[in-house]
Amino acid sequence: MSRHPEVKWAQRSDKIYITIELPDANNPKVKVEPEGKLSFSARVGKDQVLYEFGLDLLDRVNVKESKTNVGLRNIVCIIEKEEKKWWKQLVKTEGKRLSFLKVDWNKWVDEDEDGGKDMDLSQMDFSKLGMDDDDLDYNELEDEEEIGSENQSADEKEGQEPHIEDSGKGKAIET
């Protein structure tokens, strides 16, 4: 029997950000389909416990422009929406709440505050798509907002977009 990892999500008018919190995931597999289906599976620990989930996203997505980065503690997916618009929710099913799915408040921006700014992901390596499982190099992702923020005033912090940083060793897997 499989388990569900904790999944966090946030959106912009053109993208969905999905963070799968699963430290030390072995052989993670992420599949994104144009009609808006997202599936994930990975094994964890010496007992190789299976973690997996599938989501029917609210609308269609652009698979070619979507990216995934595998880190030591989590897997980050940036899913490009086919049509640039805000979704009222992430998944199609309205009545059933998925207990493992949560809003990522660190990345969340309200629709009226979305000035077209993307998160700064320049430090994340999405360069190698179509990797073999043996090529995966896990790297811990850090939230750059914590680095150097001690010297900023509250006014300077307000309105900043949080972003994810890694040391450049993380690699993307095909979505």
SS (H, E, C) the chain: CCECCEEEEEECCCEEEEEEECCCEEEEEEEEECCCEEEEEEEECCCCEEEEEEEEECCCEEEEEEEEEECCCEEEEEEEECCCCCCCCCECCCCCCCCCEEECCCCCCCHHHCCCCCCCCCCCCCCCCCCCHHHCCCCCCEEHHHCCHHHCCHHHHCCCCCCEECCCCCEECCC
In this prediction, residue 110 carries a pLDDT of 83
Per-residue pLDDT of the chain (175 residues; tens, 9 = 90+): 789 999 999 999 999 999 999 999 999 999 999 999 999 999 999 999 999 999 999 999 999 999 999 999 999 999 999 999 999 999 998 777 899 999 999 998 888 776 655 555 554 555 433 334 444 433 333 333 333 334 444 444 444 443 333 434 444 444 4
- CB atoms closer than 10 angstroms to residue 113: 9
**Which structure tokens are listed for 152?**
């900023």
In order of start, what are the domains of the chain with their CATH numbers?
6-107+121-172 (2.60.40.790)
- What span, in angstroms and rounded, lies between the C-alpha atoms of 16 and 85? 11
In this prediction, residue 89 carries a pLDDT of 93
- What span, in angstroms and rounded, lies between the C-alpha atoms of 118 and 116? 6
In this prediction, residue 116 carries a pLDDT of 55
- What span, in angstroms and rounded, lies between the C-alpha atoms of 67 and 17? 10
